[in-house]
Structure 1
Amino acid sequence: MLQTLRSKILFYLVLISMIGILIVSFFIQYGFEESFNSYLDRNREKKIDRVITEIEKDYKKNGHFTTDPVSGLLHEHAMTDQLYFQLYDRFGQLQMDSSNIRGMLNSLGLTEPAPIGEEWHSRTYTIKVNNAIIGKLVALYPKGLIDDEYTFIQTIQLYIYAAVCLTIVLAIIFSMLFSKKLTFGLKKLSFAAGELQQHNLDIRIPLSGLPTEVKQIAISFNNLAESLAKEEMLRKQFTGDLAHELRTPLATLRSQIEAFQDGIWEPTPQRLQTSHEELMRLVRLVNELEKLLAAENPQIRLEKIELEAGSVLAALWEIFMPLFKEKGVGLYIEEPQQEEMFEADKDRLMQILSNVLNNALKYTPEGKNVTISVQTEMEGYVGFKIQDEGSGMNEDDIPHIFERFYRGDKSRDRKTGGVGIGLSIVKALMDAHKGVIKVKSRLNKGTSITLWFPQED
């Protein structure tokens, strides 16, 4: 019982609704009965005041108690309101008594017999004329409601009970509908999670009709599914790329070794050098993969020291100038106008900048230029901007270039021999430094990558 979320929501909604309905109906009924009894009491007092006024007026006019018109008024109240009076003079002698009318009516069968043990109220009023006491009036009336009053209050109670029952039924119906609507999105999410567990990476949760809170979870789930699908696509793509990268040198080595074994080739120094180059190509590939694994290690430890941006640029110039000169690409360094200090792991920093510079050199044709400058626009950071005049890239590729094994233009990477993990290493090391990467690129115009390093840890 109450194992599912919907059953729990339904139970508590119905429980709270019924408690609220019962409390409200109790106070309505109690308040109405109290108000109705107060109304009857006030109405009765008005009738008694009217009788007292008539008695005083009649006495003042005649100088003694007469039966007319007071007697008619007493009989009227006795017949219609079950309100009886006993009038006594100042000596205690009974002058009028309308209480015996009930017995007469009962004997004639004109009223319901008085219930056994029926209780009566009595109130005594002093009658004065010119501030002189002339007698007293005793008003008698049964406790509780009578005749039409009782019928009226029963009818009201019946309506209240009917309203309570109808409200309870409506509360149950709407609670069922609400609990179903509330858990509808969670059921969708549960079903989608099961599909994702079964490796259905195309599953997505429709957002229409979902509550805001569930919609946020659904959006996060869809983003997760999309990310997993993308990772799966990259994994398959990388598997194919890696197989291709391994197949070419392995096939070359195999054919050369078999040629040596079959005596078709002589193991000359030139041929051995070719085999060695293919072997080193495999070694470089494995080394790149090892670097990526090391950079993405969550327990990577950085030996941060305080560095000066200008000296970093000078070191890059010394390292890369020969390579750029060999390809015929210009390398320009824009020295900062003042010292800019920041904290970073020097070896990892040089690895980051070297990877980006190698990419810039790789995709910048002969006769074009690459420029490195120091940026200070972002408060609390020092940036290294590497601007090339290379082939650039599509805007759709920019968000993905730091993903592992991603390739925007596979043919271009094939020619350069890359496997798409150099920038992944850059991203992993920048995350370790808590740095920020900004990329701008235009196809056939060039690319600029700005690497921002925090000035303080």
Structure 2
Amino acid sequence: MSSAPRAEVPGTKWWQPRTWSLRRRLVLTQVALLAVVCVSIGVATEFALQRFLMNQLDDQVMEAGRRSAAIFELPPPPLMFPPPLGPDGRPMNPPPGRHHILFDPERGPGPGFLNAPGQAARTVGAVVAPGRPIDAGVITSDGDRVFVSTAAADQLAQVPPDHTPRTIDVDGLGRYRVIGLHPRHGGPQTIVTGLPTAVVDDTLLWVLGMFAVLAVVALIVATLGGILIIRRQLAPLSRVSAAARAVADLELDRGEVRLPTPIVKVDPASAHTEVGQLGTSLNRMLDRIANALSARHASETRVRQFVADASHELRTPLAAIRGYTELAQRKRDDLPVDVAHAMNRVESETARMTQLVEDMLLLARLDAGRPLERESVDLSRLVVDTVSDAHVAGPQHQWSLELPDDPVVVDGDEARLHQVLANLLANARTHTPPGTSVTVTLEPDHDGSVALTVADDGPGIPESLQPEVFERFARGDSSRSRREGSTGLGLAIVAAVVKAHGGTIGVRSAPGATAFTVRLPGVAPSQATHRSDQSDTKLPSQR
């Protein structure tokens, strides 16, 4: 059983909503909904206000059109003059038999009805004969009357006398709401009157700006409020996630595991909610996992204790068997040939079984967590000695060394580290054909650790077997068949010893290139004890 590695968290991409966190999705969804509501309210308000203001403007245009048509039919008065002013500045009553009017239709350019009382500033008017304008003008913002351009007059001449207000763009004047009427008593002319839509447009624009400002303020407030509220509401989920991460970081593959119970505190009042149900389910799941891990640990403890006791008890009879076989071997000349051969086989198998018992006892001790010896170990000297032994044991292989100029020192158990390297070299010698080149490389890493690599150009390890290569009693295929008394515990012992030293081991294998890499914590240069002077062994030439 092994713990699964933590999943890599991909970077968040703003164009991929599936990579967003739940908090971000909720906040953005809330803001998006509020934005849709604000836009809908704004559009509906603008539409309703535009209809309302246009209806008001149409009423004003129709009233101005009827007034203009009525004034157009009035006959010229017999006497037209402004009323005289009295000493107090007020208009005087006209003399008997005389009267005055309040406007002069002949004053200024354009149709005379534009000079009538009640006509608003910027009112446009035209008298149109069939197909062509007769007279057209506009009241300026300061009350004067001016002619409109020829293009504007032609545009006004196109307005039909159907008593229906319509919107046109008058050349040089802007958008106008205009209406065409016939004189009330008939006639070929068409009286066109129009009022500007600028007031309506300005009002709609102002309301639109006000809505935009209010919507922005509302969205900002909603975003900040949503972040605070959603963060508070999702706090229980954050606690559940933190608890799950804490459990995931525990070493669950071996040893005794103590899970905190309950891992998530659930308020009884909120146990029926979604978050409460999630916390309760997580607690129940972890309780069952804790029980299963406890049962597994108890079973493993019993098995390890049995292996340790059995290994310890087997050492005594094995020692006796070896003693008797050695005694018998002293008189092998007096024994029959078949009996002497049998005694040789007993002695070799006893030695192999003794080694197996010692390996199992070592693994049991490492599993029990017994501390190793701690001293400064000169790995450079250790590598030279171990490779020299391997060269003697496997003269048909090509052995090479790559060592740094300065000795490499680590803190550990020298005997166990020697066993690590010896097992790796024995593994390379046993499972590769004669003539294979084996290279041992030792180098300090940039992070202060030490890397020890044993590489060969043999047939390699099948990819399907690489994940199990450090398991106990692991067997390879025919290319790495069991030979020379291999017990299947060598690499398992290597992994256990390396882990006990706080290091790691890995393997990369392909046909023609297999490398086992051991990384161990290094020792500061000031603490290193150089042992190269204590050894008479000379380093072979480095490649």
Q: TM-score, normalised by structure 2?
A: 0.36
Report which of the two has the higher share of helix.
1
Q: TM-score, normalised by structure 1?
A: 0.42
